[in-house]
Amino acid sequence: MLRIIGALIIVTILGCNDNDPAVINDQNEIAGVYFGGFVIDGGGSTNIYALISDDNNIRLMFFGLAGQATGQLNAIEDSYGGSLAVYQNHYENVFHAKSTDIQIDANGTDVGINGTWNNSSASGWMFFDKLSDEGQIVIPIQLSSNWELKMANSSGGIFTLAISVDSQGLITGSDTTGCTYFGSVVDLNKMGRVIPFNLNLTTCGVKDGDYDGLMAVISVGMSDKLVMLASNGAYTFSVELNR
């Protein structure tokens, strides 16, 4: 797995030809859910979910709940640029601490986002393929449910997190370490494929505080998953829950 720690990664634009997908710089068109990854020249890669909101807030989740990158995309002429904070220093269970910053500069098209990356010791390329926009508008009944994550913890036991979202967008939950979660959807009347939310964590020790993030309901086979990505500046919270 590619670990982006202690390095500055610059993403450059891939060239286009007449057969390439149309380049887009409209924030309402680029918003959505993506699947892809970073690939290292010579071998190695890491898979990523990317969530982009209508205001071009972007969050990347490294597969295996191995961290998160968060930032803002800015349209610059015919490309997107911005700075992302990368959190890959594992702290506990689904929480990570900040490891580095990356700068990105990439093209968005009607089928995805593409570019290349490099630093002083390595280079490669990145791609994010946009998942189908079918059913792009998430109605409250699709989000409203009890969601759960179970995973092994560092002591050999099982970490369990239970999150409930009601029809009014209220978020409540708890986990086996004693943390409590309380928050809400930012605007229930403006829910798209990617949904901004706020979350307050208490009885979590140093992880206590106000988190803001993005979430999306993703269909995998015959089941749905709720991906929630949030940060408070010091830590990120990255989960993939089952209904």
Quote the tokens at residue 61. 């989740």
Domains in the chain and their CATH numbers?
A: 10-130 (2.40.128), 140-242 (2.40.128)
Provide the residue count of the chain: 243
Q: How confident is the model at residue 13 (pLDDT cuts 50, 70, 90)?
A: very low
SS (H, E, C) the chain: CCCCCCCCCEEECCCCCCCCCCECCCHHHHCEEEEEEEEECCCCEEEEEEEECCCCEEEEEECCCCCEEEEECEEECCEEEEEEEEECEEEECCEEECCEEEEEEEEEECCEEEEEEECCCCEEEEEEEECCCCCCCCCHHHHCEEEEEEEECCCCCEEEEEEEECCCCEEEEEECCCCEEEEEECCHHHCCCCEEEEEEEECCHHHCEEEEEEEEEEEECCEEEEEEEEECCCEEEEEEEEC
Q: How far apart are CA 39 and CA 46, in angstroms?
A: 7
Inform me whether the pLDDT recorded for 73 exceeds 70. yes
Q: How confident is the model at residue 10 (pLDDT cuts 50, 70, 90)?
A: very low
What whole-number percentage of the chain has pLDDT above 70?
A: 81
Q: How far apart are CA 115 and CA 142, in angstroms?
A: 33
**Higher-confidence residue: 95 or 28?**
95
**Higher-confidence residue: 233 or 133?**
233
Q: What is the pLDDT of residue 80?
A: 84
SS (H, E, C) 119-159: CCCCEEEEEEEECCCCCCCCCHHHHCEEEEEEEECCCCCEE
Q: How confident is the model at residue 21 (pLDDT cuts 50, 70, 90)?
A: low
Averaged pLDDT score across all residues of the chain = 81
- Mean pLDDT over residues 220-227, rounded? 82
Which is it for strands 57-62 and 45-52: parallel, antiparallel or unpaired? antiparallel
Q: What is the pLDDT of residue 32?
A: 86
Which of 105-109, 166-170, 206-210 has the least mean pLDDT? 105-109
pLDDT in tens, 128-178: 888 865 544 455 557 889 999 999 987 889 999 999 999 889 999 999 999
**What does the DSSP 8-state code read for residue 189?**
G
- Mean pLDDT over residues 87-91, rounded? 91
Q: What is the pLDDT of residue 119?
A: 67
Inform me whether the pLDDT recorded for 220 exceeds 90. no
Inform me whether the pLDDT recorded for 5 exceeds 50. no
Taking alpha carbons only, the member of 44, 45, 54, 51 closest to residue 68 is 51
Q: How far apart are CA 206 and CA 199, in angstroms?
A: 15
Q: How far apart are CA 164 and CA 147, in angstroms?
A: 6
Global pTM reads 0.83
Question: Do 125 and 116 touch, CB atoms closer than 8 A?
Answer: yes
Phi, psi dihedral angles at 224 (to 5 degrees): -110, 150
Q: What is the pLDDT of residue 14?
A: 34
